[in-house]
Amino acid sequence: MSRATLYSFRRCPYAMRARMALRYSAVDMTIVEVSLKAKPAEMLALSIKGTVPVLQVDDRVIDESLEIMSWALAQHDPQDWRLRDDAEGQALTAALIEENDQVFKLHLNRYKYPERHPEYPKEHYRAEGEVFLRRLEALLETRPFLAAAHQSLADVALMPFVRQFAHVDRDWFAQAPYPRLQAWLQVLLESELFEAIMAK
């Protein structure tokens, strides 16, 4: 039986989604919590990028969170997170993850750290991020989860980033016009899976 080691940082959204997939897939692993100020030499030897998450399984090293998720789901996917027989759901998942990782994450970083991007006020960056929130809200009008009637890869891959956006200004998010997205986020935050991967 292969033994896995995951280099992780508890609050990193990329590491969160990797941990959720690995736990869901019941992968036997050791988690090494990394200090971002003093990264372990063994992790840097495995991945030149020096960013979490990094998964080592036997001789294989995977240092992209989505690839870690895919690897985990290939081991065991009891609730069909991959939407195996749903080509439309798979295409939507891919499109949502790409928009999240390439566009929304950029606006999230600027909204979270507006002092680093003084060209515009914080509200400008929030409004840019809201374009994606509106897309998610619209998807949730027809079903409880983003890409299917049940939780899938799309939900788990996006949730840590939506969580971060919501937490920049919780009062604002609580009254924002996204009731379905707020409910969706709450369901995922209160899930046994998320609570387990966030336990200290």
**What is the number of domains present in the chain?**
2
Examine the domain organization and report whether 98 and 63 are in the same domain: no
Which residue type sits at 123?
Answer: E
Residue 3 has pLDDT above 90, yes or no: no
Give me the chain's average pLDDT, please.
96
Which whole number is the average pLDDT over 169-183?
Answer: 98
Q: In the prediction, which pLDDT does 2 show? A: 65
Regarding whether 38 and 135 lie in a shared domain, the answer is no
Check whether residue 92 and residue 72 sit in a common domain.
Answer: no
Do the domain assignments include residue 199?
no
3-state SS class at 62 = strand
% of the chain with per-residue pLDDT over 90: 95
Q: Which amino acid, residue 191? A: S
Is the same domain home to 71 and 92? no
- Determine the Cα–Cα distance for residues 73 and 109; give it in Å rounded to an integer: 29
Whole-angstrom CA distances from 63 to 2, 39, 60, 191 are 18, 14, 10, 26
Residue 24 forms part of a structural domain:
yes
**pLDDT of 116-172, one tens digit each?**
999 999 999 999 999 999 999 999 999 999 999 999 999 999 999 999 999 999 999
pLDDT value at residue 166: 98
What is the average pLDDT across 23-28? 96
| Tokens 């897309």 belong to residue | 135
Same domain, 69 and 96: no
Assigned domain for 200 exists: no
The single residue listed with the structure tokens 């840590």 is 160
Angle between helices 87-99 and 153-168 (to 10 degrees): 30
Indicate if 108 and 128 belong to the same structural domain.
yes
Higher pLDDT, 59 or 160: 160
Reported confidence tier of residue 56, pLDDT bands at 50, 70, 90: very high
Domain that residue 96 falls in: 87-194
